Amino acid sequence: MMKPTLAALLLALATSAGAATDAGSFTLLDRHAAKAVTAPRSDARPTVVALWASDCAYCKQNLRTLAGLAKANPQLRIVTVAAELPTADTQPAIDKTGVKSERLAYGDDVPEALAYAIDPNWRGELPRTYLFDGKGGIQARSGVIDAAGFKAALGLK
């Protein structure tokens, strides 16, 4: 049986064929790939999956905080998911936050179906963040998270 991280990578690669848009290099998600985004991970390092939208100021605040944490903690892995189909404004919006991440975005599927695939308990509020501590623990949070909150959830200094 494949580890979840390898399976997620294979799914991402499979869905990325032809997924680059004129809005940049986002891997577009379908329902199957979206489900893998928050699947339990066997990563040995802290990982954050941050859902955001280009018109969400609080989302950008979280992403800027993550950018700062990543500079101080190179082991931190960040995956961003634009909870929208990318447009020409999507890449510049995330670039301005300074976060370096794997970049995923909603594909052509029904947005509600993608949200449900990511997390059946999520009601669509943004920002939405999934925190994997690298030891098998996961937390799902909605709203702004400050640096201390990220550090505590991820076991960072």
pLDDT at residue 24 in the model = 58
At 18 the pLDDT is: 38
Q: DSSP letters along the chain, please?
A: ---HHHHHHHHHHHHHTTT-BTTBSPEEE-HHHHHHHTS----SS-EEEEEE-TT-HHHHHHHHHHHHHHHH-TT-EEEEEESS---TTHHHHHHTTT---EEEEE-SS-HHHHHHHH-TT--S-SSEEEEE-SSS-EEEEES---HHHHHHHHT--
Instruction: Examine the pLDDT at 124 and tell me if it is beyond 60.
Output: yes
The confidence score (pLDDT) of residue 13 equals 39
pLDDT of 85? 96
pLDDT value of residue 157: 82
Instruction: Give the tens place of pLDDT for each residue, 88-117.
Output: 999 999 999 999 999 999 999 999 999 999
Which amino acid is located at 118 in the chain? I
pLDDT recorded at residue 69: 97
Q: What does the mean pLDDT of the chain come to?
A: 87
* pLDDT recorded at residue 79: 96
pTM of the entire structure? 0.85
Give residue-wise pLDDT tens across range 34-91: 999 999 877 789 999 999 999 999 999 999 999 999 999 999 999 999 999 999 999 9
User: What Rg, from alpha-carbon coordinates, does the chain have?
Assistant: 14
Model confidence at 135: pLDDT above 60? yes
Q: What is the pLDDT of residues 10-32, one digit of tens each?
A: 344 344 433 444 445 899 999 99
CATH, residue 53: 3.40.30.10
Q: Which residue has better confidence, 21 or 138?
A: 138
The parent domain of residue 20 ranges over 4-154
CA separation (Å) from 152 to 38, 53, 146? Answer: 20, 25, 10
- Contact criterion met (CB below 8 Å) for 59 and 126: yes
**Structural domain count of the chain:** 1
Listed residue (30, 12, 6, 26) closest to 111, CA to CA:
30
Amino acid type, 123:
R
CA distance 139 to 133: 9
